[in-house]
Each structure stands twice: as C-alpha cells, then as structure tokens.
Amino acid sequence: MKASTSQLQLTRSADYAVRAMIHLATLTGAERTMLPALATAIEAPSCFLSKVLQALSRANLISSRRGPIGGFAILPQGLRASIREVIEAVDGPIHLNVCLRSGRSCDRKSWCPAHLVWMRAQAVMVEVLDAAIVADLAATADAQGMRGLPRNSDRKSLDSNEQKSDQRFRAVR
C-alpha cells in the first residue's frame, strides 16, 4: 500500500494566516511589524504572505500601514477572531466535502451512506476551530516563551531579533 498523500488539509494560505495572526497578537500595544520581519518569524515567503495579509486586512482582522512607521498590527476584532474566521478570511467558507456546500446539491446526498459522516465530521471540525481564539493562542505562545517582533524604532537590531524570534517560533511548533 502506498504512503498517504491525502489532500484533506489546510491550504498554505490558511496556515500562514493563522501563524501571522498568532504572531501579531503577541505584539504589545501599538507595535507593528514589517512584512520581511513577519515572513521570517513565521517561516513564510514574503511575496505569498503579502497576499494573505491583504485578505486579513480586507476582513478587518489586521491593519496595514505604509511608510517608515508602517507595518502590520492586529486589530481588536482580530484578537477576538476564531481560527475558523481567520481561515475563512483567506479561503472562504470551510467545507469538508462538496456535498456540504450551501446552495449546491449533490445528487447522491439523499442516499449516500457517507453524507451523514461528512456532516458530523464538519460539525466537529467547525466547533473546534470556533473554540480556538487568536488571543488565547497568543497567550499560550507568550507563556511558552514566544515573543513578538521588535518595534519599527528597533530596526538596528532587527536581524538579531528576527533570528531569536524565529528560533522561539520553531520551538513552539
């Protein structure tokens, strides 16, 4: 039997969005971080991460500001967001199977023995994702020693701090 290559997993966009939200939530007060530093800290390619951050900004979970005092920061709504809301901000509604999409009907739904399994699995998955709140996960990360990136005023030591932050982030995962 071959090794499993199941596609039943988060998209890369959703994974980076969750990482970014948790990391941004560890910053204190009005701290902001620039894209390259955030990309390094969460181990994501900056060109790909920028698109993810745009989606999070459009969903009003984070704020984005250009310029020398710019960068990204989490908004209060982002702190209160569930992991489900973060995922759906970048990927749209979560559906375990095509037969569970609202407005779409599966011809097999009325007699398919697996349909009830998909419905129950989706309900449990959504319940777990709804219960995981960004602020709570950030508090756990802080308790485990993960700390946010330096403020824009601390640019001189950015390289050193990026490496330390990256090491702490890896230790948490």
* pLDDT tens track for 115-165: 889 989 999 999 999 999 999 999 998 777 765 543 343 333 344 444 444
What pTM was computed for the model?
0.78
Domains of the chain: residue spans and CATH: 12-92+133-172 (1.10.10.10)
Tell me if residue 33 falls in helix, strand or coil: strand
Q: pLDDT tens-digit profile of 83-93?
A: 999 999 999 99
Q: pLDDT tens-digit profile of 55-88?
A: 999 999 999 999 888 899 999 999 999 999 999 9
